[in-house]
Amino acid sequence: MISLEGLGLKLGDFSLRDISLHVEDGEYFILLGPSGVGKTSLLEAVAGLVPVERGRVLLDGADVTRFPPEARPIAYVPQDASLFPHLNVTDNILFGVRVRRFAETRWRPLFDDLVDSLQIENLLDRSPVNLSGGERRRVSLARALITSPKILLLDEPFSGLDPPIRRELQLMVKRLQKHLKGTFLHVTHDREEAFILGDVIAVMIDGKVEQIARRNRVYFHPRNLKVARFTGMENVFEAEIVAVDGQASCVTVQWLGNRLVASANQAALAQGQRVLVGVRAEEVMLIKPDKPIREGRESNILSGVVREILEKGATHTFVIDEERSGQPIVMELPNFLYRRYKFHPGEPIRIRISPDKFCVMEY
């Protein structure tokens, strides 16, 4: 396992501040954030490629903060793959074990396993200059993993690839990580990639880690507005808590001029408290015009008018002007429902938000 404790470093006018996180053995840990927030610099600090000004890097409890890169049992896959052009694919993969003078009996089983898992058997005699982008990434992964590092660092490993190739490699790497029971620390700005691959996600914005949690927690219950916006939660509005139930499992909020019930997904909520309440667009439910409201679902109903409809292929995005506040609410509607009801801009519409789909955030 690897731990960062209060890590800080300055890069020109930019600095990383008090970064603390913990990656368990066998975990796929994602560091997610927009470009330019210091994700790559943090990865380089873990690898020993840039000096740390304060804090510690611990590997299995041992302080390796001042260790040079070659003394750390860590492998690093940079964005550009960085294969040696004068060596063929086999020699590229085996470079690390040859430098370390590993016996063939030590590396051969893993080599065969990686070649099979990454589907690169037909590439072994080729030069890197004759490989496609996706092939280069697969070879670089094999080269990094052949030495059995305690942790693999991945810096935007699928950037610049066409979507079908990128998705194929994402799934391949996830299967490989589970198969090897490896510990991966992966940097990306791609939200979809983060939620496909990550067991745990740390969201990093402006040089600071804003939230660390399991994948679903980050997706459905972002800690604050910064995380909500970056992870794609579009419906976030100010609200006031007007009642808290006895077990504090639900709260009643005044949201967009409506009294709605929301699950209390954070501690210490109190009556009169100002909060932010959000919901993901795909969790906003259409009340079907041709069917009565089911018993037990009479609460949390909002009315509005369809402002615009955006076709996105698998879904249609509705922008709805909420009746009382005039604020826009975004809803993702599956194509089969859109085709059935055929809404048009300017038409009235009713929607419902289940209490457990709301996220109550710090104000």
Name, in order, each residue with C-beta under 8 angstroms of 137's C-beta and a sequence gap of 6 or more. 81, 157, 158, 161, 169
Q: Among residues 260, 257, 250, 254, which one has the least CA distance to residue 241?
A: 254
Q: Are residues 239 and 221 in the same domain?
A: no
Residue that is last in its domain, among 193, 225, 257 = 225
> Mean pLDDT score of the chain, rounded to an integer?
92
Q: Which of 62-66, 186-190, 286-290 has the lowest mean pLDDT?
A: 286-290
In this model, does residue 344 exceed pLDDT 90? yes
User: What is the Cα–Cα distance from 88 to 4, expressed in whole angstroms?
Assistant: 37
Same domain, 103 and 212: yes
How far is 27 from 347, CA to CA, in rounded Å? 48
Assess whether pLDDT exceeds 70 at residue 115.
Answer: yes
Token pair for 208: 């600071």
Q: Given a cut of 90, is residue 328 above it in pLDDT? A: yes
Q: What pLDDT is attached to residue 46?
A: 95
- Which residue range is the domain that position 299 belongs to? 233-361
- Do residues 220 and 237 share a domain? no
- Percent of the chain exceeding pLDDT 70 equals 98
What integer pLDDT is reported at residue 94 of this predicted model? 96
Same domain? 188 vs 282: no
Q: Helices (H) and strands (E) in the chain — how many of each?
A: 9, 20
Matching residue, tokens 């975990």: 27
Q: Report the percentage of the chain scoring pLDDT > 90.
A: 79
Domain boundary residue, one of 209, 225, 241: 225
**177 shares its domain with 302:** no
Are 221 and 251 found together in one domain? no
For residues 70 and 180, membership in a common domain is answered with yes
- C-alpha–C-alpha distance, residues 345 and 348, integer Å: 9
CATH of the domain at 124: 3.40.50.300
Residues 221 and 328 in one domain: no
Tens digits of residue pLDDT in 22-31: 999 999 999 9
The Cα 21–Cα 31 span in angstroms is: 10
Tokens 């430098």 map to which residue?
99
Query: pLDDT class for 248, splitting at 50, 70, 90?
Result: low
Q: Which amino acid is at 203?
A: V
Q: How many domains does the chain have?
A: 2
**Smallest Cα–Cα separation from 221: which of 267, 189, 258?**
267
Q: Which of 225, 258, 285 is the last residue before a domain boundary?
A: 225
Q: Is residue 297 over pLDDT 80? A: no
Q: Are 207 and 45 in contact (CB under 8 A)?
A: no
Give pLDDT, residue 267: 64
pLDDT band at 13 (very low <50, low <70, confident <90, very high): confident
Strands 151-155 vs 328-334: parallel, antiparallel or unpaired: unpaired
